[in-house]
Amino acid sequence: MTQPRTPPGDLRSVPALLARNAVRFGGRPAYREKEYGIWQSWTWAQAADEIRALAMGLMAQGLAPGDHLAIIGRNRPAHYWAMIAAQMCGAIPVPLYQDAVAAEMAYVLDHCGARFVICGDQEQVDKVREVEETTGAEARIIYTDPRGLRSYDAARMASLAEVQQQGRAGAGQLGPRLDAIVAGLDYDSTCVMLYTSGTTGKPKGVVLSNRNIIETAKNTAQFDHLTEAEEIVAYLPMAWVGDFIFSVGQAMWSGFTVNCPEGAQTMMTDMREIGPTYFFAPPRVFEGQLTSVMIRMEDAGRIKRWLFKRGMAVAHRAGPALLDGKPVGMADRLAYAFGKLFVFGPLKNTLGLSRVRVGYTAGEAIGPEIFDFYRSLGINLKQLYGQTEASVFITQQPDGQVRSDTVGVPSPGVEVRIGENGEVYYRSPGTFVEYYKNADSTASTKDSEGWVATGDAGFFEPETGHLRIIDRAKDVGKMADGSMFAPKYVENKLKFYPNILEAVVLGNGRDFCTAMINIDLTAVGNWAERNNIAYGSYQELAGHPQVYDQIRAHVEAVNASVAEDPMLSGCQIHRFLVLHKELDPDDGEMTRTRKVRRAVIGEKFHDLVGALYDGAPSIHTRTEVTYEDGRKGHISATLRIEDVRVFGDAGARKAAAE
Amino acid sequence: MMMQDNLTAGTRQIGPVVMELRNITLRFGGVVAIKDISFDIRQGEIRAIIGPNGAGKSSMLNVISGFYRPQEGEVIFRGVPRGPMKPFQVARLGIARTFQNIALFEGMTVLDNIMTGRLNRMKAGFLSQALWWGRAEREETENRAAVERIIDFLEIQNIRKTPVGRLPYGLKKRVELARALAAEPQLLLLDEPMAGMNVEEKEDMSRFILDVNDEFGTTICLIEHDMGVVMDLSDRVVVMDYGRKIGDGTPAEVRGNQAVIDAYLGVAHD
């Protein structure tokens, strides 16, 4: 980490960091965005100018200190600028999930009382207007992409470019006002407000101050030696705290470049062109990549397949050890070098991961095979553990101490302790200020000494000092016979199979565990294609007897592995079914960050739960689905329920009962 | 139903007549495909031609595009009666079209296919092209920029470098629209732009057609089977049956026309 020339004491707000970067890294790229097939870039000096113009424009439009400004759109430089510009006006930026349907958006917009909304495109403008029809509120709308908006009420909205123009035109008068506000910003000013996705109940607005963001960015940038030379690809939802920390916090602190892809679908190509050096992805993305690599290898010629198999064998043997700096034999070193030249070098390049120096995954447990795959390619993939309330970082893995089953040591500046009930607590400079307009929840989450309950159960490994997370504390329950029920633990094992996209394990307070399973359409669809199995719909494929056979085999294998742990052997799955629809955030079954909402599923599929426990061989069900535009429909299906073999004590008991 | 906000008449300018068809009759040997049809297309409007199978819709479009030469009647484009023309002459007049059965270069990428739509605008000589120097280089850059704007407009960035042969049907249709747009036409002819699409693809395509009309002010003449789509999209509709015009007017007028209801929507039997 290079030392800033300005005394660090002055860098107490994101706009202050921006001003420093404009001077210190003035000619270096700050933002890039692919548009019209070409990467457009802005240096720090240019970005500072754009942001200032936008801030003055917003001020001219009437944005006042203390106002909330919502941002709904994909990752674009202009949207990041809007968040910083808002702070420069003393307002509070609130990024929202762009794929949320209007009804979900209504709550958040109403709760924060947004006076301004930045909309990425017509779709978002339509949603905001739909929301306003019900709430009666009228926010000023500013849009980035003017397409299709020509005939809309021009008095109510303006384009972001127009706002910037207005700001530039009025600079003489607006500039000093803006400077005065910026000069008054400090560590206690609100930097951003992010709504938690909320696995239960309504979303809560987490208020994060400049102290939270800058201290966290500073500590973690030092931890991983991030410099102004890093390249990141900003593709995760802007409403997610991680994107804010990486693309705003750390980028501002370290002065590195944020690259925005052309769109979600071009992400992989764009990533290959940029070659990020610092990369974050949830396990789902890594799983998806690995699945597509495996599918393509299965379709490849024999020589290529052979090369891949041999190369990966060497990589598994030597890759992780080389990465951790452990001793490796001469022969393996040589074989690895060849493999790198012919197999994993090109493969890494295809994945866009050639230059990754530090990679992180978090949010969910990652399968050991997946984790090892990337590590063996020589990608320094690590795990971190965090949450919105902590400005992401609670624990992370230092270089050279990486394992798939732990989440690392406490991040710099973070204190972690384990409560009596096994719950993980932390206290850090990144700990959130409060939940907006929700003092009760703030008080019940954060105690007077600043300790925050994570809601996760875990323990520190005595020998290494690494934290291991078992499950959500509230999800850990007891079965009827008193043995421990940890659904996530089993679900993760199931989800490690490429065929299984999602699994929900039930059994709290019951005699035995059961599971509802979602197939992965990419993997299973490809298998069906190669085996000439015809199917007309997701539903038909999910119910195919051969698919059931495969899933049953996976469940049995998981049971065998769960049985090895005496504490958790009661969590073996006795019966399962394959769901006829994908669990979907639009239907409320998952959060926007794709975490399963157990209560909703238990209620919505109560008939299926009943059938899983009453011994019925099949069940007819009718389920409501929500389409992307918010309309609703129904699908009906008859689902088969199958019994599975269980092992160890549980197996013996089951046999005796029969 | 879809995006009707865009169709508020106040913001769109429907101008004077750009193309007028007077008493067109087209015969193939003894078969009369079109019989004495007259109608016009106004600047900036979306004009639909509908009718049952074999009504002569595609023939009509081919007459408009100058591909068929009617035995009787006149085609007047911008006040000038039009004689027989070669396809490139039609293109130079500012008329572009898509085809009912997609006519793209399957082996070429999406980008290259759309670039072919710009061919009319490339003037550089053979030597300059071969050396890719001077005028050729400048032209290519300009044309590529124009094509990229269309790619962005139709949201096909992710398939920019994909050979067209590998694309699903709905996307091919969109690429074909892109190629037609690349010529920056004054008048865009769409031959069943939504044939064989599912509901979602139809909605997407409808949105693109409306956006093209709204954003570029392009006059559009389209043939379509799907009544719902036609009624939502168009400003005026011509209805054909057995080569004759049986109705002409706004969607509401056409919907209420008894002859149209009988011929096209079917006679009520009970």
**Exposure on the CB side of residue A504, measured as CA atoms within 13 A:** 22
Strand, coil or helix: what is B25?
Answer: strand
Of the candidates A222, A225, A189, A224, the residue with the CA atom closest to the CA atom of residue A207 = A189
pLDDT at A469: 84
Q: Virtual CA dihedral for B114, B115, B119, B120, nearest 10 degrees?
A: 60
From CA A161, how far away is CA A163, in angstroms rounded?
5
Cα separations in angstroms, A106 against A64, A152, A627: 22, 21, 18
Asked if residue A505 belongs to a domain, the reply is yes
CB–CB of B157 and A265 under 8 A? yes
Beta bridge pairs of residue A72: A96, A119
pLDDT at A1: 39
Final residue of a domain: which of A470, A487, A508? A470
A432-436, B9-13, B134-138, range with greatest mean pLDDT: A432-436
Instruction: Write b or e for each residue in B79-96: b if 16 or more Cβ atoms lie within 10 A of its Cβ, otherwise e.
Output: eeebeebeeeebbebbbb
pLDDT at A5: 43
Asked if residue A373 belongs to a domain, the reply is no
Asked if residue A350 belongs to a domain, the reply is yes
In this structure, the answer to whether residues A338 and A392 fall within a common structural domain is no
Q: How far is B52 from chain A (nearest CA, A)?
A: 30
Q: Report which DSSP code applies to A496.
A: T
In this structure, the answer to whether residues A354 and A485 fall within a common structural domain is no
Asked if residue A2 belongs to a domain, the reply is no
From CA A182, how far away is CA A529, in angstroms rounded?
60
DSSP for A128-184? Answer: HHHHHHHH---PEEEES--TT-TTS-TTTEEEHHHHHHHHHHTHHHHHHHHHHHHHH
The predicted model gives A392-413 an average pLDDT of 90
Asked if residue A367 belongs to a domain, the reply is no
From B2, which residue of chain A is nearest by alpha-carbon distance?
Answer: A629
Final residue of a domain: which of A252, A272, A292? A272
Instruction: Choose the mutation target among B157, B181, B211 for the interface with A, i.e. most A CBs under 10 Å.
Output: B157
Asked if residue B10 belongs to a domain, the reply is no
Reply yes or no on whether the pLDDT at A598 is more than 90: no
Phi, psi of A614 (to 5 degrees): -95, 5
In this structure, the answer to whether residues A353 and A288 fall within a common structural domain is yes
Of the candidates A364, A358, A346, A354, the residue with the CA atom closest to the CA atom of residue A285 = A364
In this structure, the answer to whether residues A453 and A484 fall within a common structural domain is no
Q: How do A92-96 and A38-43 pair as beta strands? A: unpaired
Longest dimension (CA), chain B: 73
The predicted model gives A474-501 an average pLDDT of 83
The shortest CB-CB distance from B214 to any of A151, A265, A266 is to A151
Cα separations in angstroms, A601 against A87, A199, A478: 39, 11, 19
Asked if residue B80 belongs to a domain, the reply is yes
Reply yes or no on whether the pLDDT at A200 is more than 80: no
Q: How confident is the model at residue A230 (pLDDT cuts 50, 70, 90)?
A: very high
Strand, coil or helix: what is B183?
Answer: coil
- Work out the percent of chain A whose per-residue pLDDT is above 70: 97
| Average pLDDT of chain A to the nearest whole number | 88
Asked if residue B1 belongs to a domain, the reply is no
CB–CB of B214 and A148 under 8 A? yes
User: Residue B63's domain spans which residues?
Assistant: 16-265
Asked if residue B254 belongs to a domain, the reply is yes
CB–CB of A151 and B6 under 8 A? yes
Q: How confident is the model at residue B264 (pLDDT cuts 50, 70, 90)?
A: low
Give me the CATH number covering residue A416: 2.30.38.10
The predicted model gives B192-209 an average pLDDT of 87
Final residue of a domain: which of A361, A389, A404? A361
Q: Note every long-range contact of B115-119, with CB atoms under 8 Å and residues 24 or more positions apart, other chains counting.
A: B115/B143, B115/B144, B115/B147, B115/B182, B116/B179, B116/B182, B117/B147, B117/B178, B117/B179, B117/B180, B117/B181, B117/B182, B117/B183, B118/B143, B118/B146, B118/B147, B118/B182, B118/B183
From A36, which residue of chain B is nearest by alpha-carbon distance?
Answer: B148
CB–CB of A266 and B158 under 8 A? yes
Reply yes or no on whether the pLDDT at A657 is more than 70: no
pLDDT at A653: 63
Beta bridge pairs of residue A396: A384, A409
Q: Specify whether the CB–CB gap between A77 and A42 falls below 8 A.
A: yes
In this structure, the answer to whether residues A424 and A544 fall within a common structural domain is no
Contacts across the A-B interface (CB distance below 8 Å): 43
In this structure, the answer to whether residues A226 and A352 fall within a common structural domain is no
The predicted model gives A32-50 an average pLDDT of 94
User: Residue A452's domain spans which residues?
Assistant: 380-470
- At B92-116, the pLDDT tens digits run 888 898 888 788 999 999 999 999 9
pLDDT at A627: 77
In this structure, the answer to whether residues A420 and A524 fall within a common structural domain is no
Chain A residue numbers with beta carbons less than 8 Å from the beta carbon of B207 are 148
- At A499-541, the pLDDT tens digits run 898 999 998 888 899 999 999 988 898 889 888 988 888 889 9
The predicted model gives B18-44 an average pLDDT of 90
What ipTM goes with this model? Answer: 0.72
Reply yes or no on whether the pLDDT at A594 is more than 80: no
Exposed / middle / buried, residue B239 (Cβ in 10 Å: 0-12, 13-18, 19+) = buried
Asked if residue A217 belongs to a domain, the reply is yes
Q: How far is A186 from chain B (nearest CA, A)?
A: 41
From B214, which residue of chain A is nearest by alpha-carbon distance?
Answer: A148
The shortest CB-CB distance from B145 to any of A36, A262, A263 is to A36
Q: How confident is the model at residue A179 (pLDDT cuts 50, 70, 90)?
A: very high
In this structure, the answer to whether residues A247 and A308 fall within a common structural domain is no
Chain A residue numbers with beta carbons less than 8 Å from the beta carbon of B151 are 36-37
- At A422-477, the pLDDT tens digits run 789 999 999 999 999 999 889 888 998 999 988 888 888 888 889 988 777 777 77
From CA A80, how far away is CA A183, in angstroms rounded?
21
From CA B163, how far away is CA B148, in angstroms rounded?
17
From CA A138, how far away is CA A69, in angstroms rounded?
13
Give me the CATH number covering residue A595: 3.30.300.30
Contacts for A38 with CB less than 8 Å, ≥ 6 apart: B148
Instruction: Choose the mutation target among A151, A262, A265, A268 for the interface with B, i.e. most B CBs under 10 Å.
Output: A151
Amino acid symbol at A65: P
Of the candidates A114, A51, A123, the residue with the CA atom closest to the CA atom of residue A87 = A51
Element (H, E) at A94: strand A92-96
Please state which of the ranges A11-20, A70-79, A611-620 shows the lowest mean pLDDT.
A611-620
Reply yes or no on whether the pLDDT at A215 is more than 70: yes
* Strands of the A513-519 sheet, one edge to the other: A500-506, A513-519, A573-578, A632-643, A618-626
Asked if residue B42 belongs to a domain, the reply is yes
Reply yes or no on whether the pLDDT at A4 is more than 50: no
The shortest CB-CB distance from B11 to any of A35, A151, A263 is to A151
Asked if residue B215 belongs to a domain, the reply is yes
CB–CB of B151 and A265 under 8 A? no
Give me the CATH number covering residue B204: 3.40.50.300
In this structure, the answer to whether residues A250 and A333 fall within a common structural domain is no
The shortest CB-CB distance from A152 to any of B5, B144, B149 is to B5
Chain A residue numbers with beta carbons less than 8 Å from the beta carbon of B6 are 148, 151
Of the candidates A276, A238, A257, A259, the residue with the CA atom closest to the CA atom of residue A79 = A238
Q: Tell me, yes or no, if B95 comes closer than 8 A to chain A by beta carbon.
A: no
In this structure, the answer to whether residues A55 and A196 fall within a common structural domain is yes
From B158, which residue of chain A is nearest by alpha-carbon distance?
Answer: A266
pLDDT at B9: 41
In this structure, the answer to whether residues A482 and A461 fall within a common structural domain is no
Asked if residue A137 belongs to a domain, the reply is yes
From A268, which residue of chain B is nearest by alpha-carbon distance?
Answer: B158
Asked if residue B7 belongs to a domain, the reply is no
pLDDT at A16: 95
Q: How confident is the model at residue A102 (pLDDT cuts 50, 70, 90)?
A: confident
Please state which of the ranges A241-250, A481-490, B38-47, B207-216 shows the lowest mean pLDDT.
A481-490
Chain B residue numbers with beta carbons less than 8 Å from the beta carbon of A536 are none
pLDDT at A7: 44
Q: Tell me, yes or no, if B171 comes closer than 8 A to chain A by beta carbon.
A: no
Of the candidates A44, A32, A30, A58, the residue with the CA atom closest to the CA atom of residue A165 = A58
In this structure, the answer to whether residues A586 and A447 fall within a common structural domain is no
Reply yes or no on whether the pLDDT at B89 is more than 90: no
Asked if residue B157 belongs to a domain, the reply is yes
Q: How many domains does chain A have?
A: 4
Asked if residue A315 belongs to a domain, the reply is yes
From B12, which residue of chain A is nearest by alpha-carbon distance?
Answer: A151
Question: And the tokens for A399?
Answer: 């270089």
pTM for the full predicted model? 0.80
Q: Specify whether the CB–CB gap between A119 and A92 falls below 8 A.
A: no
The predicted model gives B15-21 an average pLDDT of 89
From A154, which residue of chain B is nearest by alpha-carbon distance?
Answer: B11
Q: Specify whether the CB–CB gap between A480 and A566 falls below 8 A.
A: no
Question: And the tokens for A252?
Answer: 């501002």
